[in-house]
Amino acid sequence: MKLKLTETQLGALKAFLANCEDAEALSEREYVADLYDIERPVSLDLVFVKGGVAVDGAAELKYDEEQDGWYMGERLETPELVLAALEQAGALGA
């Protein structure tokens, strides 16, 4: 799926990912990020493309107290869910 973002939102997202300790740059254009501090934590694989961001993977994160760790839950299937997570994390600017 592709997220159509404004130039301002793209800049804010790049800055957010560069400064997020739970995000890793896989290349100059691709990042994986785990957003734990939102209502419904998610893991995202984002690729910056012309005119926006391609979401190569997105899933909610669940916590298992017995295993004391996080695991992948349901996939996020719509751009609206991914955008909501990014907005809640403050990744798209004000």
| Collapsed DSSP state (helix, strand, coil) of residue 78 | coil
Do 43 and 34 contact (CB within 8 A), yes or no? yes
- Count structural domains, the chain: 1
Which range marks the domain in which residue 46 is found? 2-89
pLDDT average, residue stretch 31-35: 97
Does any domain span residue 33? yes
Residue with the two structure tokens 């990042």:
31
Rounded to an integer, the average pLDDT of 43-52 is 94
C-beta of residue 15 within 8 angstroms of C-beta of residue 23: no
Arithmetic mean of pLDDT, 64-90: 94
Q: Is 44 exposed, middle or buried (0-12, 13-18, 19+ CB in 10 A)?
A: buried
Q: What is the mean pLDDT of the chain?
A: 94
What is the rounded average pLDDT of the residues 37-66? 94
Residue 14 counted as domain residue? yes
Let me know if residue 25 belongs to a domain. yes
Judge whether residue 2 has pLDDT over 80: yes
Query: Residues near 18 by Cβ (< 8 Å), separated by ≥ 6?
Result: 25
So what's the pLDDT on residue 78?
96
Query: Is 94 a residue whose pLDDT tops 80?
Result: no
User: Could you tell me if residue 94 is inside a domain?
Assistant: no
Q: What is the pTM of this model?
A: 0.91
